[in-house]
Structure formats: structure tokens, C-alpha cells
Amino acid sequence: KPSFPLAFEIGGGDAMMGGQPFEGPVDVVARLSRTGDAIPSKGDAEGTARGLKIPSKGVSVTIDSVRQ
């Protein structure tokens, strides 16, 4: 049950493949799952910040769409 706005930080430890360089540009997606499942599904609310350089500061992700 997050409180918004929610501050976040992403670093090299968050890379999907360990040992690989964490480089940009990257897309950051925020999603609120209807079911609580980690896999995205229809009806989830989400938003994306695209093409971010690494490092970046002051990034905002607005949850403004519903997954179809």
C-alpha cells in the first residue's frame, strides 16, 4: 500500500542480468497490479518514462493508462 508520490532509486544492483553494465537509455515502468501478481495483466494501471540516461535525477513516472 504505497503512498504517492513514491520516491525510488535504481542502481547497478537492479540490472536484470548480473554482471552486465547498467547503461542507458532505459525505460522505467510503474504498474499497479489489480491482482498483486508480478506478471502484467489486462486492467493494470501503468505509466512509463522512456529513454532515460543513466544516471538521471528528478524522474517522474505518471501512471496514466490501463493495460489492454
Q: Per residue in 3-33, pLDDT tens? A: 888 888 888 778 777 777 788 898 999 999 9
In the chain, how long is the greatest CA-to-CA distance?
35
Q: Per residue in 36-66, pLDDT tens? A: 999 999 999 999 999 999 888 899 999 999 9
C-alpha cell recorded at residue 47: 505509466
Answer whether the bond into residue 5 is a cis peptide, omega within 30°. yes
SS (H, E, C) the chain: CCCCCCCCCCCHHHCCCCCCCCCCCEEEEEEECCCCCCCCCCCCEEEEEEEECCCCCCCCCCCCEECC
